[in-house]
Structure 1
Amino acid sequence: MVATRPQLTGRAAILAVVVCAIAMSLAYPAREYVAQRRQIAQLEAQQANALSKLQRLEERRRRLEDPEYIKRLAKERLFYCEPGADCYQVLDEAADSTAAKAGSKPPERPAWYVTLWRSFEAADKGRPAAPAGQK
């Protein structure tokens, strides 16, 4: 009878254990390397965002130091009118055109104190306040 050799020899078993040990010892550092590279990419993106924000703020600071820009902002936002100039302001152009097309006046809102008094009366009677156009 022919003697058969076992499939797994002692040397092969030791070699398999060594290979597994090396793979296990390299797995953690490789995972840490990938995590650190990901973190570096995130930090670089944050830095790029911070730099772009800084550039926008610097540009805004330069504009705010310009007196002509400040005058233009005052005219647009605060409706500032320089002395001696004729200034006009159109109030709610869209609402005026729709009212003119309909041929009727828009409903007038009562004064704030009338609305306040109506809410007091409604609270005293225990019912909700009437809308502004009623009563």
Structure 2
Amino acid sequence: MSDRRTGRGPGGPRRPARSSAAARSARPAPVAGATEEARPRPTGRALILVLLLAVLAVSYASSMKAYLQQRAHIAELKQQIDERSESIDDLEREKRRWNDDAYVRAQARARFGYLMPGETAYVVLDEKGKPLETRSQLHDPRQVLREPPEPWWDDAWSSVELAGNPPRDPGTPAAELGAPAE
């Protein structure tokens, strides 16, 4: 039951029907140079989703950094393990050498100068009376001997001449020391 005067009925107020020409005139006219499609505006749900993705990216980035640091640390530790195992192998090889009597004798000779019974040791001394290095290097004789050596007979003949003609004593030693001369 509707009231024809008010236009109200059981479904609520009636709106007058617009014609399609009236509907077209109610829309704003497009501006020159503007696109007809309007940009969609971000909704609250979209902003929350973007924020959530940013937080997840930051948390995964920090976890990834920690993971990469741990992998680098593990690689360093594996390298140290390899170096130490090589060192252990070298030390075990050295230990097996010391179980050999011939190696022990050779080390005693080289390090401490020990001799076997019946052997004679010779020590070469330098001009100051100190022992020369046992591990000296050999050099090219052309580089060591820059002046040709004198023959031994020249040295022997000069000593014979010196014995036959001794040099004259220029003065007594007491005069040289400043003592009164007699």
Q: Provide the TM-score with structure 1 as the length reference.
A: 0.60
Match of 2:103 among 61, 64, 69: 69
The residue type equivalent to 2:96 in the other structure is R
- Larger of the two Rg values belongs to structure: 2
Q: How many residues align?
A: 105
- Separation in structure 1 between the aligned mates of residue 74 and residue 119 of structure 2, nearest angstrom: 58
Structure 1 counterpart of 2:147, from 102, 107, 113: 102
Q: 1:56 aligns with which of 86, 90, 94?
A: 90
Structure 2 residue 77 is the aligned partner of structure 1 residue 32: no
Distance, in Å, in 2 between the alignment partners of 1:82 and 1:4 is 107
TM-score by length of 2: 0.46
The answer as to 2:113 corresponding to 1:79 is: yes
Q: Does 1:42 align with 2:76?
A: yes
Q: CA offsets, 1:34-56, max 9 Å, x none?
A: 11111111111111111111111
List gaps (5 residues or longer) in structure 2. 1-27, 29-35, 125-131, 150-182
Task: Give the corresponding residue for 1:125.
Answer: none
- 1:88–1:15 CA distance, 2 compared to 1 (3 A): same
Larger helix proportion, structure 1 or 2?
A: 1
CA RMSD of aligned residues (A): 3.2
Per-residue deviation at 1:24? 1.4
- Cα distance in 2 for partners of 1:60, 1:93 equals 27
Report 1 or 2 for greater relative contact order, CA contacts < 8 Å, sequence distance ≥ 6. Answer: 1
Q: CA deviation at 1:7?
A: 4.0
Give, in whole Å, the separation in 2 of the partners of 1:50 and 1:20.
45
Report sequence identity in percent: 31
Counterpart of 2:64 in structure 1: which amino acid?
Answer: A
Alpha-carbon spacing, 1:39–1:99, altered in 2? closer, same or farther (3 Å): closer
